[in-house]
Structure 1
Amino acid sequence: MIARCGYVAKGIVYLIVGGLASLAAADLGGRNAGTKEAITQLATQPFGGVMLALLGLGLLAYALWRLIQVLLDTEHLGHGIRGLVTRAGFLISGGIYAGLALYCANLLRNAATGNTSTTDRTAELMSHPGGVLLVLAIGIGFAGVGIRQIWRAVKRSYLKNWHMIEMSDAQQHLAEAATRWGLSARGVVFLIIGGFLVVAAVQTNPSQAQGLGGALNVLARQPFGPWLLGVVALGLMAYAIYCFVNARFRDVTP
């Protein structure tokens, strides 16, 4: 139950991010927002407080699921280098979504003063001993996750986690199409984020760092930018569908 609620909450966040970016690509008034901006957008809607509370609980549930994956090795990764690195990634992911859950709580208390930018957070890290190396490692980590997302889309490794017998043929085709598109789009975005962090570390210039919204802005500034942005934005919405598929059909046995 914890995992399924978590996947729904994660899917809602990506649905909002992708939806806003899709509107921006179509010049219909949207904007390229990161996860925190998407959550803030949700808070401004009717019944925003209720939706924000439910989303915060769901994001906390996802963070707990990531912790369970790390502690109980639910993916049967073992204790080799690859398994330990992957589980470390789960732990970092859990920390990120726990932070988003805390952000929801701060918004509910009208105390979301910690909405610092990626540049600010990068500058803070760099100000500490070894901070530049840490930013470099984080950038390489983001790029690695991006490559892994694209590789999963190519190899279709996500299939082993689904209860395929419970899915109709139409559901399988829709889930596969959305997942491959969604993982690829998220992989591209993570590669861009990782690249900017690596550049920021190499140049010791935190202003080079960009988050999710910044990565989407980069796509929008390229030749055929609106088309590129539209494809990736719809891909992020497809990733949201992948999250919803996980909520319904994924094997979440500890």
Structure 2
Amino acid sequence: MDSSLHGAAARTGDHPVVEAGARLGYVASGVLHLILGWIAIGLAWGTSSGSADQTGALEQLSSSPLGSVLLWVVVAGFALLALWQVAEAVTAGETKETVKSAGKGVGYLVLTGVAARIATRTGGGGSENRTDSLTASVMQHPLGQVAVAAVGAGIIGIGVYHVVKGWSRKFLEDLREQPPRAVVVAGRVGYVAKGAALGVVGALFVFAAVTNDPEEAGGLDAALRSLLELPAGTVLLTAVGAGIAAYGLYSFGRARYARV
């Protein structure tokens, strides 16, 4: 890698503004997951009709007092966290760490864009409709079903990784010191719940590929709603929603203890 690029990335990642912004990004993630967990629990008990995904959570945030201001704070936090992750990807010494940081950077950039669209009222269409449309477009091509199934398998893999990371407390490696027990418990519960939700999302993509029905594919909202169709679905969705909220609480702790 070009030494000048590596040096520039290192200076960017170590800049006080970027480091503070990365911590702000974790706070923004915490707010997002708390709202998302609340929506999921509301769906379980029939008290909410909002979209149980990142877009729905951000839209609910925008409708709160000072919602516009809070949204722009979220935009700034996610943007700076994405920048820090990209800098980490450039300076990482191992390919695995480079790919992981780059993937997170892309994810936070997407969230930055979604939050900015909602803040400027330029977002349109539900996320589930966009997922169905994209899946249908992919399935029209040769090997499209295989590609959709591969995406689903990849999401399931990410979900399993989250579950293992939470159960084994591997997430503590992301922190610079041992946090309070409450943060550790929230992290374990949160990672496991988030992993379970991602596993359902991936399963929906695989099922859509097997049945050649793009409408079976869906994002987080569809995955959480599908839990209601299972025995004891209300209890399951309540537990997952509480777990997602726990991940939000862990994110607040991560903002304090993260290695940045």
What does residue 145 of structure 1 align with? 158
- Post-superposition Cα deviations, 1:147-170, rounded to whole Å, max 9, x if no partner, equal 1111112221122222335x4xxx
Q: Specify the code of the residue in structure 2 equivalent to 1:228.
A: L
User: Please, which of 211, 219, 234 is the counterpart of residue 242 of structure 2?
Assistant: 234
Change (3 A) 1:64 1:11: same
What does residue 110 of structure 2 align with? 99
C-alpha distance in 2, partners of 1:89/1:129? 29
Structure 1 length as normaliser, TM-score?
A: 0.85
Indicate conservation of the 8 Å contact 1:32/1:216, yes or no.
Answer: no
C-alpha distance in 2, partners of 1:192/1:29? 21
Indicate conservation of the 8 Å contact 1:146/1:187, yes or no.
Answer: yes
Structure 1 ranges of 4+ moved more than 6 A? none
Change (3 A) 1:119 1:70: same
Indicate conservation of the 8 Å contact 2:89/2:100, yes or no.
Answer: no
C-alpha distance in 1, partners of 2:245/2:120? 29
Q: Alignment partner of 1:110: what SS?
A: coil
Work out whether 1:41 is the aligned partner of 2:60: yes
Work out whether 1:111 is the aligned partner of 2:122: yes
Equivalent residues in 2 for 1:207-246 (5 A)?
207-246=215-254
What does residue 194 of structure 1 align with? 202
Q: Once the 2 structures are TM-superposed, how far is the Cα of residue 128 of structure 1 from its aligned partner?
A: 4.7
C-alpha distance in 2, partners of 1:186/1:157? 15
Bigger drift between 242-251 and 113-122 goes to 113-122
C-alpha distance in 2, partners of 1:114/1:101? 17
- Post-superposition Cα deviations, 1:223-252, rounded to whole Å, max 9, x if no partner, equal 111111111100000011121111110112
C-alpha distance in 1, partners of 2:140/2:63? 35
- Post-superposition Cα deviations, 1:189-219, rounded to whole Å, max 9, x if no partner, equal 0111111112222333211112111111111
Q: Specify the code of the residue in structure 2 equivalent to 1:38.
A: A
Q: Specify the code of the residue in structure 2 equivalent to 1:41.
A: Q
C-alpha distance in 1, partners of 2:79/2:137? 25
Q: Once the 2 structures are TM-superposed, how far is the Cα of residue 89 of structure 1 from its aligned partner?
A: 4.4
What does residue 66 of structure 1 align with? 85
Change (3 A) 1:139 1:29: closer
Work out whether 1:160 is the aligned partner of 2:179: no
Q: Specify the code of the residue in structure 1 equivalent to 2:256.
A: R
5+ residue gaps, structure 2, are 1-19
